A and B are shown apart, each in its own frame.
Chain A
Amino acid sequence: SQKIEQNSEALNIQEGKTATLTCNYTNYSPAYLQWYRQDPGRGPVFLLLIRENEKEKRKERLKVTFDTTLKQSLFHITASQPADSATYLCALYTGTASKLTFGTGTRLQVTL
């Protein structure tokens, strides 16, 4: 069956450290993968996209890697801040009717 799993339900890190979130998928062949941030009671906000033929993408303090052999994406937030605390969702786009399929999400808590 198809699955998109993200690491641990919650991730707690100290301010200034690098947060690393994992997204693993099975039985998908995504054309690209996206990462979103979701705050409580709000809709997701698009952060980054990485295509199947790309290994790494960066945007300010964010970095995403994509390994189609391992079927895994890693999402890094460097120099994390309390304002980075939120739930982060990975989503796969397979090209079928422009649909996105979301992972389970990882809640990140950055403490002082």
Chain B
Amino acid sequence: GAVVSQHPSWVICKSGTSVKIECRSLDFQATTMFWYRQFPKQSLMLMATSNEGSKATYEQGVEKDKFLINHASLTLSTLTVTSAHPEDSSFYICSGLPGGSYGYTFGSGTRLTVV
């Protein structure tokens, strides 16, 4: 089946630094990828939709200057959390929709801890 590879699986960073998370679609091309955030015992909240070759679309309340998204190729989307603060600590997950499928394929997630 389709695979989305997400790295790193976990990261600890100091407050004020930036962290980049990568998502690669390994066996399908993804013109669109979705970035979610999940706090403990809560559901997935869509942060933004990443579009290959164009600007990302952010959900209401998500700061686009803080969560930088780049989708430079059909197989790679990145999320950079800039000037991270402890409240940004969360589980970040990306997903893509393989062609011919209605089921979304998710990455394994990145646990970000800001200290």
Q: List chain A positions with a Cβ less than 8 A from chain B.
A: 9, 32, 34, 36, 41-47, 49, 89, 93, 97-105
Given contacts A34-B102, A100-B34, A100-B104, contact A41 B111 (CB under 8 A): yes
Contacts of B57 in A (CB 8 A): 97
Range of interface residues on chain B? 20 to 34
Q: List chain B positions with a Cβ less than 8 A from chain A.
A: 4, 6, 32, 34, 41-46, 49, 57, 91, 93, 95, 97, 102-109, 111
Q: In the complex, what's the smallest C-beta–C-beta distance from B35 to chain A, in angstroms? A: 11
Closest chain A residue to B36, Cβ basis: A102
Known: A43-B95, A43-B106, A44-B104. 19 other contacts (CB 8 A): A9-B41, A32-B102, A36-B106, A43-B109, A44-B44, A44-B93, A44-B95, A45-B106, A46-B104, A46-B105, A89-B43, A93-B102, A98-B49, A98-B97, A99-B46, A100-B104, A102-B44, A103-B43, A105-B43
Contacts of B41 in A (CB 8 A): 9
Q: In the complex, what's the smallest C-beta–C-beta distance from A3 to chain B, in angstroms? A: 11
**Which of A44, A49, A89, A98 has the most chain B CB atoms closer than 10 A to its own CB?**
A44
Question: Inter-chain contact count A-B, CB under 8 Å?
Answer: 54
Bound state CA distance, A32 and B32, in angstroms? 19
Q: Is the CB of A49 within 8 A of B46?
A: no
6 A-B residue contacts at CB 8 Å?
Answer: A43-B107, A44-B93, A46-B105, A97-B57, A98-B49, A98-B97
